[in-house]
Structure 1
């Protein structure tokens, strides 16, 4: 099972440690593209104060987040930590990687893939520095990152998906970087979280539910081979799931997870 996750906007400070080793990251087929994005991002953020204003505009940062520009400028030498420790926020709080037992942590290392505007995609065990660069950013030289990543992702991700289930929990901005196609799409499941009484999509609780759902699968050692098996596994874990199989080949399954309360 391969689980595709969005990153978090907020990121933990890695503290002290060795800097990034770009060649050590998983999915080495993305190294050249990562190097190009990293170089342009650092150059954009390393200018004088006037240039920093431009960098904030490009990155979509408020005045209060000016420090994120300086953080990006120092990415080559900044301390790096496992991505699972860097990404924070609602989904990752609910997932609770640090509190998983040893077996579940091994499953997480092998199955979770976090998409990123800067790195393309990384495993939770990959060591990265804290940064700020969403997939929606349009860098002056490379253009829109969602479009930029499509070609290298298309070359690398099908092999990473293997021949098993792909559970796609990404937001739309990150889904733009790679769309499973062909037979990979047929074993892909996307998930919405709906408020059961109103049938409306929920936002904050959407992330929390997805985090808990992944944690449940990892803790239980569930290993569904396809979307139908995922539906069965989630129902056994107590989730209320409605599934819609694709009407034709080459399309993903759509799963709705129903929740009674929003908190």
Structure 2
């Protein structure tokens, strides 16, 4: 089973790992050319702070993000699953996993990335700023760059793929047949609404359950059973790979 997570805009700073080595990242043979092109473009863009703000969609108060991009090739790295921060990663809480659970997380988790395409949980990466909707000067859209090379990598996974990425990252490289999860809140009167911010927290808890489970679901039916046994209220239309996670309002 492969569980695809969305990245976060915010990242933990620092790290103790050696500087970025693109050859050490997942699927290096297929993805290094695009990764290198994007890293070069982001580092070059960082020399022009106003242009970086425009391309990255940030304000002057976030110029430290530009400085991070300038140092992409020389700054220390962290395992990807420890680099990303925010609501989903707080709920996933990998630092409290046992050694055996962490090994399972490293085997089962991957994160979608605008800069790197996809990284496995243990891949060493620096802090950076680039979003799925960013447009780098002089380059095609990120979707144009990533889709031809990243889609075959993800589609080639031998096993169930649970795609928890947000829409912008799914668009970079769709995974045919992947199980997706929408989160709806249910009020006391039975009406439902889309969960926005806390959608990420619920997906983080769901991901934690999947990486701490000994089960290895082979398809959507088995996945639904696993989640229901874990106390999740999950619904699925017959024959569909789209699941709905229902949470109290």
Instruction: Give yes or no for the alignment of 1:110 onto 2:107.
Output: yes
Matches within 5 A, 1:160-175: 161-162=157-158, 164-175=159-170
In 2, the alpha carbon distance for the partners of 1:192 and 1:16 equals 36
* Superposition CA RMSD, Å: 1.3
- Do the aligned partners of 2:69 and 2:129 also contact (CA within 8 Å) in 1? yes
Instruction: Give yes or no for the alignment of 1:151 onto 2:141.
Output: no
- Do the aligned partners of 2:7 and 2:113 also contact (CA within 8 Å) in 1? yes
How many residue pairs align between the two structures? 245
Equivalent residue number for residue 249 of structure 1: none
Equivalent residue number for residue 91 of structure 2: 94
Instruction: Give yes or no for the alignment of 1:68 onto 2:65.
Output: yes
TM-superposed CA distance for 1:79, in Å, is 0.7
Q: Select the residue among 207, 210, 226 that pairs with 1:214.
A: 207
Equivalent residue number for residue 21 of structure 1: 21
In 2, the alpha carbon distance for the partners of 1:152 and 1:238 equals 38
User: Tell me, which stretches of 5 or more residues in structure 1 are unaligned?
Assistant: 247-251
In 1, the alpha carbon distance for the partners of 2:152 and 2:233 equals 36
Instruction: Give yes or no for the alignment of 1:254 onto 2:249.
Output: no
SS of the residue corresponding to residue 66 of structure 1 reads helix
In 1, the alpha carbon distance for the partners of 2:77 and 2:235 equals 40
Q: Which string of whole-angstrom CA distances, capped at 9 and with x for unpartnered residues, describes residues 118-151 of structure 1?
A: 0010011000000000111111122221232101
In 2, the alpha carbon distance for the partners of 1:81 and 1:215 equals 20
Q: Select the residue among 237, 242, 249 that pairs with 2:230.
A: 237
In 2, the alpha carbon distance for the partners of 1:75 and 1:204 equals 29
- Do the aligned partners of 2:105 and 2:212 also contact (CA within 8 Å) in 1? no
Normalised by the length of structure 2, the TM-score is 0.94
SS of the residue corresponding to residue 194 of structure 1 reads strand
Q: Which string of whole-angstrom CA distances, capped at 9 and with x for unpartnered residues, describes residues 189-227 of structure 1?
A: 110111012311101221101111111122222311101
Structure 1 residue ranges, 4+ long, deviating more than 6 angstroms after superposition: none
Instruction: Give yes or no for the alignment of 1:195 onto 2:185.
Output: yes
SS of the residue corresponding to residue 122 of structure 1 reads strand
TM-superposed CA distance for 1:103, in Å, is 1.8
Normalised by the length of structure 1, the TM-score is 0.90
In 2, the alpha carbon distance for the partners of 1:169 and 1:121 equals 13
